[in-house]
Amino acid sequence: MEWSWKLGQVPEISFRDSTKHDIYVPINAALEDKNILEEWNIGDESIDSVVCMQALCSVSDPTAAAKQIYRLLKPGGQLLFWEHTASQDWVTRQVQGIWNLFWKPLIGNCHLRRNIEQAVMEGGDWKIIELGHDNIEPWQMMPRVWGHFVKG
C-alpha cells in the first residue's frame, strides 16, 4: 500500500514493471480505508510482511496505525520499520517542537517529535528480532529508530 498519496509519491518504475507479472500489486489506500482493503481481501491476519519507512511520523495516530498493522499481520508476520523519532536530548526536542510549526504543513503532516519506538511497541505483542537507534549526537534533529518485529 502506498501511504503518502498527499505527497504524490508513486512506486518506482522497476516496481511498476514487476506488477506486470502479477508478483506485486500496489494498493493505493490508507490503513483506515476498510472498503479498499476489503476489496483486495485484506483483513485480519492476511498479510505476511509490512515495511514502514518514514511513514508513521505522518499518520494521525501512530499507535493506532501500529495496532492496525499488528491486526492485519498473520501470526509470525513481520514488521520492518525505519523511522525518524523524537530526540532523547531535551534541548533538541524543544527545537524539534519549534521546527514542527513549519515542518508539518510543508512535509505532509510529518511530526518530528513523535516517539515512534513507543508507538510501535504499544501496537501489539511483538517479538523483537532487532531494534536499533542512531542517536549518535544529542543535537541530531532527526534521530532514527529501526526494527524487525514479528507478530507473537
Domains of the chain (ranges; CATH) run: 1-42 (no CATH), 50-151 (3.40.50.150)
- Cβ atoms < 10 Å from Cβ of 38: 10
The per-residue pLDDT for range 45-60, each reduced to its tens digit, is 999 999 999 899 999 9
The pLDDT value recorded for residue 2 is 45
CB 143 within 8 A of CB 112: no
The pLDDT value recorded for residue 143 is 93
Cα 26 to Cα 5: distance, rounded to the nearest angstrom = 12
**Beta strands 47-53; 73-84: pairing state:** parallel
The pLDDT value recorded for residue 16 is 59
The pLDDT value recorded for residue 145 is 95
- pLDDT classification of 17: cutoffs 50, 70, 90: low
Contacts for 149 with CB less than 8 Å, ≥ 6 apart: 78, 79, 80, 81, 120, 126, 127, 128, 129, 131
- The mean pLDDT of 29-58, rounded to a whole number, is 87
Contacts for 33 with CB less than 8 Å, ≥ 6 apart: none
- The mean pLDDT of 37-47, rounded to a whole number, is 90
- pLDDT classification of 139: cutoffs 50, 70, 90: confident
What φ, ψ does residue 3 adopt, rounded to 5°?
-80, -30
The per-residue pLDDT for range 101-131, each reduced to its tens digit, is 999 999 989 999 999 999 999 999 999 999 9
Cα 71 to Cα 67: distance, rounded to the nearest angstrom = 6
What φ, ψ does residue 56 adopt, rounded to 5°?
-70, -15
